[in-house]
Structure 1
Amino acid sequence: MRLLRRALAAVTLTTAAAGIASAAYQTWGSQRDRRRYPPPGRMVDIGGRRIHLWEAGEGSPTVVIVPALGEPCLDFAPLLPDLASETATVVFDRAGLGWSDPAWSPMAHVDAAGDLHTALHRAGIEPPYILAGHSMGGWVLRLFASAYPDEVAGMVFIDSSHPDQADRIRGYHWRTLKYAMMRRSKWYGVRRLLVDLGVASSPSYDGPAEYADARVALEFGDRQRRTSWWELALRVQIGAAVSRRAGTLGDIPVTVLTCSEDNPDATTEKERAYARWHFGVWYPLQADLASLSTDSKHIVAENAGHYIHHDQPELVVDAILDLVRRTRT
């Protein structure tokens, strides 16, 4: 028993020491990366905090893009050249994501529309806006349109989240808890060290090569990791808040892009069966988003998964620019 207690104590001390070392390397690495990779866009002071807006192109209306849960502006880098060739385009880093300062509020997502509005106006980026949001970014669009309807000329929901999805999708609450626990238990400092040493592979990034290292740094960053975790852990509560605050969209032109039943990410028969079941639940929720406006289109993106802008980027660009041209005429 004495040997067993000593062995357990040794294991406990070793694990604790490894955890402290991992956390220390993670903190040092995050600070190092913030110096190594400056923001590609503008840092706008919104009153004690700075929000990062990545701008490209010229013209009106301005396209404003809001990425998904835990995603920085770099997720939409591949679409910027095509959009910017026709009009001004801005990609928004929510508080704590990308290069934006953290808000230090677990429910910061529901305040993101206010942050975005303040940042746009302080940056001198005037309405009207064509808003495009992916996944949970769609919730920010709804809150923005509810608060500032006269500034919104059109909206594109890219496989957007729906406040009722927690009650409709089988096992939603359990998967949310499981994914949150998995993320929380990862030793990012150890993973960062292994990547720095070339022992482990970097997280994948399909965007321009010039931003690949910055994207990896953001993936490991303590701010983004913390914000992503809170958005995941509280997405049910965030959805409920959106349901309370956001109303219908009147006659604002809306395009809803929905993933396909034939999800290319599903590689096994079990995954394909789940994708078909999921689509049967997901499509009515997406149709409900289209019904929020009296002027809407609902398009299913063939052979596209949840990240439609990765699988069918031309479709997303065309949907956004269609609203740009409608606004101009």
Structure 2
Amino acid sequence: MLGIAALAPLAAAGGATGQVASALDYAIYAAAPTKVDIGGRRIALRCAGTGGPTVVLDTGLGGWSIHWWLVQPVLAKRVRTCACDRAGFGDSDPPPGPQTVGDVARDLHAALRAAREKPPYVLVGQSLGGVEVRLFTQRWRHEVAGMVLVDSSFADQVTVKRALPGWDAAADRKKRDDNLDCARRAAAPSFKPGNDAYARCAFPPPDGAPAVIAATWPHYFTPSYFTSSQPLSDSLSGTRFLRADKLKLGVMPLVVLTGLNRPAPARGQEQYMKRWLAIWQERHEALARMSSRGVHRIVADSGHNIQFDQPQAVLAAIDQVLDQLGAEAR
């Protein structure tokens, strides 16, 4: 049954939700990830844990595998988990050219096969990653047992955004120009913390990030990080991938999480943001209807990055899907 509920922190008996990661759990991030060849270039995966089905974590645009540091170490105590770096991000090689979300879905599938991480999978996609895991499911439905969408993008959201009254086209153009400028600056040996260019282009790790993550964080702001972002964002325009928002998933366990605590991007855009969040919630409700077992939850006190703001909500959603599947250790 489709339902909408505000989600407070939960504790699921036998699940991962009530657990908290310790310093020892973060050891996964001290070691280099596994890099698998997918036809002349390498995709990085961080996998941990045992038991199935394997949970695959796909973060949003601008993120990479360690962005799941509040989720993966806890989840790995229950099942096998793998977090992937899309091409051009994290420890993966740059893509051969501009990529779409469809290309990333193919890369993810190829990487899992190359790493011999066997299906079935529970796919967890945040923001842009939500579109990518739906495209994965569209193409390899027989390999997907369940899905969690964490404040997921939708496949034509750029087109919808641009059509809203109050869309700031000038700010969009500036963002594109800034990405190109940052790609150039990131190629310089002086591009590192303490440098003005780094301060302009990069962003710090979230508050509370463990030392092992904070120490490696600056390493990931490479030229390809900045050049790879815009084509992926642009691929969420038109109707090319819209079928991924209208999948017929039957009785597949599905949880859709929404974070609405998001300020307007600039002063004077409050009404624009109000309209946008109304559409955002409506489209998430539609995504939950892809399965007869789909559930939509609005996560209290969370913005877009629910895995940082309310990681327990993400863990609870994954636990729910695993419980519905009767997950057992292999």
1:307 corresponds to? 305
Counterpart contact for 2:179–2:227, Cα < 8 Å: no
1:184 corresponds to? 180
Find the aligned partners of 1:38 and 1:103 in 2 and give their Cα distance.
25
In the alignment, structure 1 residue 321 sits paired with structure 2 residue 322: no
Find the aligned partners of 1:268 and 1:147 in 2 and give their Cα distance.
39
Aligned mate of 1:278, from 276, 279, 282: 276
Under a length normalisation based on structure 2, what TM-score does the superposition of the two structures give? 0.78
Compare relative contact order (CA 8 Å, sep 6+) and give the higher one, 1 or 2: 2
Counterpart contact for 1:39–1:99, Cα < 8 Å: no
Structure 2 residue runs without a partner (length 5+): 1-28
2:203 corresponds to? 203
2:150 corresponds to? 158
What count of residue pairs does the alignment treat as equivalent?
288
Counterpart contact for 2:167–2:272, Cα < 8 Å: no
Deviates most, 189-198 or 291-300: 189-198
In the alignment, structure 1 residue 97 sits paired with structure 2 residue 70: no
Find the aligned partners of 1:312 and 1:189 in 2 and give their Cα distance.
32
Deviates most, 41-50 or 167-176: 167-176
1:114 corresponds to? 106
Q: Residue 109 of structure 1: CA displacement?
A: 2.9
Q: Residue 272 of structure 1: CA displacement?
A: 5.8
1:66 corresponds to? 58
Q: Residue 226 of structure 1: CA displacement?
A: 1.6
Q: Secondary structure at the match of 1:97?
A: coil
Q: Secondary structure at the match of 2:212?
A: helix
- What amino acid is the match of 2:321? L
In the alignment, structure 1 residue 145 sits paired with structure 2 residue 146: no
Aligned mate of 2:74, from 82, 85, 101: 82
- What amino acid is the match of 1:328? G
Counterpart contact for 2:255–2:317, Cα < 8 Å: yes
Q: Residue 103 of structure 1: CA displacement?
A: 2.2
2:287 corresponds to? 289
Find the aligned partners of 1:198 and 1:176 in 2 and give their Cα distance.
25
Deviates most, 78-87 or 107-116: 107-116
Q: Secondary structure at the match of 2:56?
A: strand
Find the aligned partners of 2:177 and 2:167 in 1 and give their Cα distance.
14
Find the aligned partners of 1:259 and 1:98 in 2 and give their Cα distance.
25
Question: Can you list the C-alpha shifts for 1:260-286, whole angstroms capped at 9, x where unaligned?
Answer: 2x43x5699856655433321211111
Distance 1:326 1:181, change over 3 A: same
Structure 1 residue runs without a partner (length 5+): 1-36
1:243 corresponds to? 242
Q: Residue 165 of structure 1: CA displacement?
A: 2.2
In the alignment, structure 1 residue 47 sits paired with structure 2 residue 43: no
Q: Greater share of helix residues, 1 or 2?
A: 1
Counterpart contact for 1:120–1:126, Cα < 8 Å: yes
Q: Secondary structure at the match of 2:87?
A: coil
Counterpart contact for 2:51–2:80, Cα < 8 Å: yes
Distance 1:203 1:103, change over 3 A: closer
Q: Secondary structure at the match of 1:240?
A: coil
